[in-house]
Chain A
Amino acid sequence: MNIDLTVNGKPVSVEAEPLDRLLDILRDKLGLTGTKEGCGEGECGACTVFMNNKLVNSCLVPAMHLHNSNIVTIDGMRDFDFFKLISKAYEENGAVQCGFCTPGFVMTTINLLRNSSGKSLGDEEIKEAFAGNICRCTGYDKIIKAVRQLLTMNIRVPERFYE
């Protein structure tokens, strides 16, 4: 089947089977390798992307659901001002160790910043927001520290990306 979709603001057209994974389309067909495959079962969150402005595991999204969809990956976030602030906070807090989970954690951070504007969140709420992201270097404390810092910075994340 032929699928027309928007990826990081650019219209693209790909040929895929109905149950091909969005993750493979991004990495193998479009060369967007910032999005990682960890478990391939929706548990680890390394493949997290935004689909129609909602956080999803790209390993669980079939090609047949992609027609006319708007996908934003970690590769599409680099030019946004909020991304630079997130990157700096992760660096300063030592929140990146091997780095494999980082693209997924950053996507969930973006979602959390967007959904919590003006609210103050406790550590439990922050941890709940990251239920779908696993860091096997177990650098959670530093990641949470970075996120806590970001939450105090009043960062503006748009409701919609590339629309």
Chain B
Amino acid sequence: MNSMQYYSPNTINEYRKIYSGIADKSILIFSGGTDLMVGRHELSQDAVIIDISGIAELKGIVKKGDKIHIGSCTTLNELLCSHKIQNDIPILIKAIKTMASEQIRNRATIGGNIGNASPAGDTITPLVVLETKIEIFSPESNEVRTIPIKTLFSGPSATTLEKGEIIIKIIIPLRKDEDIFCYFRKIGQRNAMTITKASLSAIAKCSDTKIEWIKLASGSVSPVVKRMSKTEEFIKGKKLTPVVINEAKEIIAKEISPITDIRSTKAFRVLITKNLLKDCLSALIKR
């Protein structure tokens, strides 16, 4: 491997300065590297690496009012061990527990999982139902913009980030006053170290026997992770009878657009998405 040019800024401001010196070149933003290292031989030798993992401002978990702010370079294991996340965002813990291994969770970052923009990214479906916002820094304008996470993705492995823009913060609103049901389940080839064939994240609020509201997001069954809004709308205000559950399964099947690929088939993905919804709603009834 030839010598690649490499920078490791310690602050966002240093990042901006480095970027302005090399803005004409192809840039590779590097953090935990658990994906990039696997494909390192395919990386362009002309690319300049900017390793943002040493930027202290991009690390840590802070509660600010009714929101949790997570630095984009926070590792998955730091999130898993955080009492704030355990207490306030249990759905994220459920998802991260199923991700990769201890070894990888010690390196992989939440910003990397989001920025990779994989439809199978397992932090993404919980963050989408939680109506998370993403803070993005632009070195060109030297400004920070905040967008809803669902508008970050433009296709599989594609984002709406402009050149040089980096994800700096993940902002999750808290719903501490309510008794919220949360659900995350993914189906893969095996239980350990598996990439999602299909997954479902849900949060919901019930009153008596009815569903007051439910927010659903399916993973790995559309070009981008998105809310299952027609299914949500259908379930809202209803009592979960077997008839309602069956109808909801048919609606979610029409909302997704899975493909057949190396990991699964279209038909299987439709089937397990329907079954995941049934599993989720059954858990909601038992509650």
Measured CB to CB, the residues of A under 8 A from B are: 1, 17-21, 40-43, 45, 48, 51, 54-57, 59-62, 64-65, 108, 111, 127-134
Using a Cβ–Cβ cut-off of 8 Å, how many residues does chain B contribute to the interface with A? 28
Indicate if B49 sits at the interface (CB-CB under 8 A).
Answer: yes
Q: Are B103 and A17 interface neighbours, CB within 8 A? A: no
CA distance A19 to B102 in the complex (A): 22
Q: A118 → chain B, closest Cβ, in Å?
A: 17
15 A-B pairs besides A42-B103, A131-B102, A132-B104 with CB distance below 8 A are: A19-B40, A20-B1, A42-B38, A42-B101, A54-B106, A60-B34, A60-B104, A60-B107, A61-B33, A62-B37, A64-B6, A64-B30, A108-B102, A127-B192, A133-B101
Query: Contacts of B34 on A, CB cut-off 8 Å?
Result: 42, 57, 60
Structural contact, B33 and A65, CB atoms closer than 8 A: yes
B53 / chain A contacts, CB cutoff of 8 Å: 65
A57 cross-chain contacts in B, Cβ below 8 A? 34, 103-104, 107
The answer, yes or no, to whether B87 is at the interface (CB within 8 Å) is no
Q: How far is the CB of B104 from chain A (nearest CB, A)?
A: 5
CA distance A143 to B49 in the complex (A): 41
Question: Hey, which chain B residues are within 8 Å of A129, CB to CB?
Answer: 102
Residues of A within 8 A of B30 (CB): 62, 64
Instruction: Select A21's contact among B3, B8, B37, B104, beta carbons within 8 Å.
Output: B37
Closest 7 CB pairs of A and B: A132-B101, A131-B192, A18-B6, A131-B101, A132-B103, A54-B106, A60-B37
A residues within 8 A CB of B40? 19, 62
Provide the bound-state CA to CA distance between A132 and B192, in Å: 7
Could you say which residues of chain A place their CB within 8 Å of the CB of B193? 43, 131-132, 134
Q: Is the CB of B100 within 8 A of A132?
A: yes
Complex Cα–Cα for A59 and B97 (A):
22
- A29 to B103 alpha-carbon distance, docked (Å): 23
Please name the residue on chain B nearest to A47 by beta carbon.
Answer: B103
Instruction: Determine if A19 and B51 form an interchain contact, defined as CB atoms under 8 angstroms apart.
Output: no
The reply to whether B8 and A45 contact each other, CB–CB distance below 8 Å, is no
Residues of B with C-beta under 8 A to A41: 38
Q: Is the CB of A55 within 8 A of B106?
A: yes
* B43 interface residue per 8 A CB criterion: yes
| Chain A nearest CB, measured from B190 CB (Å) | 10
What residues on B are CB-neighbors of A132 within 8 Å? 100-104, 192-193
- Report Cα–Cα, A55/B106, bound state, in Å: 7
Are A56 and B103 in contact (CB-based, < 8 A)?
A: yes
Question: What residues of chain B lie closer than 8 Å to A55, measured between beta carbons?
Answer: 102-103, 106
